[in-house]
Structure 1
Amino acid sequence: MAEMTEDLDAVDLLLAQHEQMRTLFEEVSSAEGDTKRELFDDLVRLLAMHETAEEEVVHPMARRKLDDGDDIVDSRLAEEEDAKQVLSDLYDMGVDAPGFDEGLAELAQDVIAHAEAEEAEEFIMLREVLEPQQLQRMATAIRAVQAMAPTRPHPAAGESATANILAGPPLAVFDRMRDAIRDWTSSHP
């Protein structure tokens, strides 16, 4: 995905990630066993990194540049906070637990509605008010943030850019260590 999105501006990069989320939700819901677990891990990682980038890069820019930026961002942050909690609960529950599929279906519906609201309000307006070079620089910032972002939701860490900057790097290191251990143990039974 990284090579395919290298030339995309911020809006196109985020739209591509939204499409990837939609696809992963469908794939997780129809998969079973280890495949389901692996796909869900991919979805969790994508959602955590995507939301971190929005909270650190996109929402602050929207607050500064859009006429109704504060109202738009506040609505999106409330949705993101709810989704992080549900995603964290599903992650802790595990893909084989009773109620996982129902919870995943509800989360998918909420995340897709959230993405559509971002696309219709925040993203389209940012494209209207920012120059192409600004959108390219934002895409570079998004990629940098995602490279350092936690790979799991951490609802207790907060929803602000400041909270992400303070808590994000240590949580990201912890998450990536845990991912490496999980991957190693699953490949060395």
Structure 2
Amino acid sequence: MPTSIARQTERQLGGPRSVLVRQQRDHQELDRLVHAIDAAECADRQDLLTDLARLVFPHAFAEESVLWPVIRRVLPEGEALTLQIEQEHQEINELWSELEQTTPGDGRHEELWPRIVAVLREDVRDEEDELLPRLQERVGRRELARLGLAWELVRRISPTRPHPVVARRPPGNATAALPLTLLDRSRDHLDRAARGGTGRVARVAGGLSRAAAGVAGRLEHVPPFTAGEDPSTRSGRTARD
């Protein structure tokens, strides 16, 4: 069995520019944020949830756009391995979409959050213990650094919210990236303004965020944005009981 990237040093993973090091760092930050969210309440919790979403969804989008096509090309078992991760990503998208309709303390929020954490941790384990070590066996340090740069560039311009209807694969996810990224990142700032503001400022910011969410929800269903989807990751197909 290959060695998990969680148990390797930066040098073993290919140096600071390697995509494996970047992945490892994001996974460590995910763990930190989960613990911080568990200890937080009210507006602080919502701000931390926004931070986690801004980590998780661009991270996954960049994987699906940059890494998984390479893995499907270089690994005989790449199709099955990446599809399993895409199914986990889809489940996180669907659960988080439900979470966005809740508030801490309403019961439903407390029911969804542990399920989200469980799938996130499963996703991390599958990537660190199975998928990424197999990629490491097939490509050299230079290629890991090249993939790291491409992954980082895509991550910085990727959507920051769940979009369960959008395809997990190209060309759908690639064509949806620009409009959804603009809407998502605008919503992130508007939601912070709504939580931190008072009176008219909070109301206007909240209203604009809800309007942007409605536009994003309609855009998800535009046919080019759903192209390339595997049937097993279509919206509504992956949620667990």
Please give the TM-score of this superposition, normalised by the length of structure 2.
0.72
Residue number in structure 1 paired with 2:75: 66
- How do residues 31-42 of structure 1 correspond to structure 2 at under 5 angstroms? 31-42=40-51
- How do residues 44-123 of structure 1 correspond to structure 2 at under 5 angstroms? 44-123=53-132
- How do residues 138-153 of structure 1 correspond to structure 2 at under 5 angstroms? 138-153=147-162
- Displacement of 1:21: 1.1
Identity %: 25
Structure number with higher helix proportion: 1
Return the structure number with greater relative CO, CA threshold 8 A, min gap 6: 1
Q: Does 1:168 align with 2:141?
A: no
Q: Which runs of 5+ in 1 are unaligned?
A: 1-5
Aligned Cα root-mean-square deviation (Å) = 1.6
- Displacement of 1:76: 1.0
Give the secondary structure class of the aligned counterpart of 1:16: helix
Give the secondary structure class of the aligned counterpart of 1:134: helix
Residue number in structure 2 paired with 1:128: 137
* Per-residue Cα deviation, 1:44-65 (whole angstroms, up to 9, x for no partner): 1111111101110111111011
Give the secondary structure class of the aligned counterpart of 1:73: helix
- Displacement of 1:186: 4.1
* Larger gyration radius, structure 1 or structure 2: 2
Count matched residues.
184
Whole-angstrom CA distance in 2 between matches of 1:26 and 1:124: 26
Residue number in structure 2 paired with 1:9: 18
Contact persistence 2:65–2:170 (CA under 8 A): yes
- Displacement of 1:40: 0.7
Residue number in structure 2 paired with 1:3: none
Please give the TM-score of this superposition, normalised by the length of structure 1.
0.91
Contact persistence 1:150–1:172 (CA under 8 A): yes
